[in-house]
Amino acid sequence: MSGTPRLFFAASSAPDAQAALVALRARYSESPENEAEIIVALGGDGFMLEMLHKHLGSKLPIYGMNLGSVGFLMNEHKLDDLAGRLKSAERAVIHPLRMRATSADGTRHAAIAINEVSLLRQTRQAAKLRISIDGHVRMDELICDGVMVATPAGSTAYNLSAHGPILPIDSALLALTPISAFRPRRWRGALLPHKAQVRLEILEGGKRPVSAVADHVEVRDVIQVDVVEDRSISLTMMFDAGRNLNERILTEQFLD
């Protein structure tokens, strides 16, 4: 890519993001989305996930500017020197999870998750789950509010809130993290090779219904969920020099 890259600007519906969209379009030339070399996403982490999902098959890199709340996956919002920032930006390539869920009526569902696949109890009663890895049962019964499989990119999101480990972005690992485990009470989860095939079976689903969530896709009343990393899909995010995703993940581990 030589000279100034062809850019397409996209913004969330938030007023600040829409105002930034107008300002950037006034300052910089814009190409049609299907001719762009870089997508500039204006919003928060949720909007970045939305744009990554939208461009799963395009392989276009996405450079985010934070006009949301946390903005872990975003860069600082600045109007000036966008071309220079993009030229020196560092890239992080991530791979999503593929979820295959079977609901109680036998319907099969598939979805992609960039952050995590989570199983959550639907009622006041705790869920009962059986966990198998690569065809071997590793835990006959986990009584909990839920459990999740998180990618390195997603390890600082819901996974971190559930006291799961933070994973370097280039680590070949997945985090398997329980949510409010009751039995075994002291189980804190596991680190899995990225090639691991995870099967989560719901025990007593009629009495203790469970939903499965892959980012923004929810399937209710599931009886079995299979999760694997999909290395056939590569997603590229761009970060300002010295503020790449590995640096942010490292910094996050030393915060209060």
**Alpha carbon 39 to chain centroid distance?**
18
In contact, 98 and 228? CB cutoff 8 Å: yes
What region, left, alpha or beta, does residue 162 occupy, with left being phi > 0 and alpha being psi -120 to 50 degrees? Answer: alpha
Given the residues 16, 45, 170, 221, select the one marked as catalytic. Answer: 45
Number of neighbours of residue 34 by Cβ within 10 angstroms: 8
d(CA 139, CA 137): 6
**Alpha carbon 218 to chain centroid distance?**
14
DSSP state of 6: P
Partners of 57 in the β-ladder: none
DSSP state of 48: H
Catalytic status, residue 170: no
CA neighbor of 90 nearest in space, from 33, 32, 21, 170: 170
Q: Which residues are catalytic?
A: 45
